[in-house]
Structure 1
Amino acid sequence: MMNERSDIYPDFEDEQDKACEDATSEREYASLDQAFEAHRIPMENRDLIRRAVALAGVERYTGTASYIKAHRNDGGPTLRIHYGYTNGFRSADEAASLGDGVQPWRSARTKLWGISHPVNRTSSRAGGQKQVRRDYGVCPECFTTYHPNGTCGCV
């Protein structure tokens, strides 16, 4: 099932980066692993990203302040690898072919698609992570739940 999630994974910064691209310098990386380390990409995301760059036929990597650019050897759109998502896939089918559980979403980049990584900073908004409720116990006098500071309604 395809989800249109550009509202959850805004890549409006990509548009800002286009305007600033000439003014800023890109760093060239010798390898994808070097780029991962420079951008502090979580280990849990690296396998999916490796599959994505292999599928896209990436020949070299550069980086901006906010993402890794994976340049395709056929001159196609670059994959932009962020902490929690990658965009730049030519079609939803290309993105979905990365494996089970990958749900492509439309990128703000014209006619391109993106995917979410297993670890991302937007999971709670997307419903991926749930808030943990702690059990602080119940007061035997008033039968209300204790507050985190150990007090209840009868104090």
Structure 2
Amino acid sequence: MTDSPAADLRERVLHALRTTRVPHTPQNLPFPAHHQPGGNTGGFGWCALCARDADALADAVLAVLPASADRAEWDALSREAERLRRIASEMETRSERIEAEVKKMRTDRATVLREAADHLARQADELWAPGRTAAHTTMHADAAELRRMADEAPGGDR
């Protein structure tokens, strides 16, 4: 064993490549040093690395990789990504709904201010003699102020 997971995996892959036999290789060919009798592979059949057999190389590497743990992690990450995409979509829909509500509220605010101004002006005319009392003049000034506020309110432009 080595001191890091990457180095340990490298050693396991190298060992698998040198010890995975490729069947039907000529027995009379000279073997590299790691094929000598008493070595890891004995004296017959070439290893996947020396035979340069791509399928055997792939099989040897896959045999030492922790495939089930990697697959489980991949599946978990995929589920998390899908969950986050779903949340993002829901948040976008919610954001659009909130923006529409805010726009409506802004328009409603302007409408409410105009209605209040109209009501105040009507009350002034009904309760006080036009132009002869300070209350009548003040109420109409207040109504004008409410109309100005409605015009300045976001979405309140006429």
Larger Rg: 2
**TM-score, with normalisation over the residues of structure 1?**
0.24
User: Of Structure 1 and Structure 2, which has the larger fraction of its residues in strand?
Assistant: 1
Query: Which of the pair has the greater relative contact order for Cα pairs under 8 Å at 6+ separation?
Result: 1
User: Of Structure 1 and Structure 2, which has the larger fraction of its residues in helix?
Assistant: 2
**TM-score, with normalisation over the residues of structure 2?**
0.23
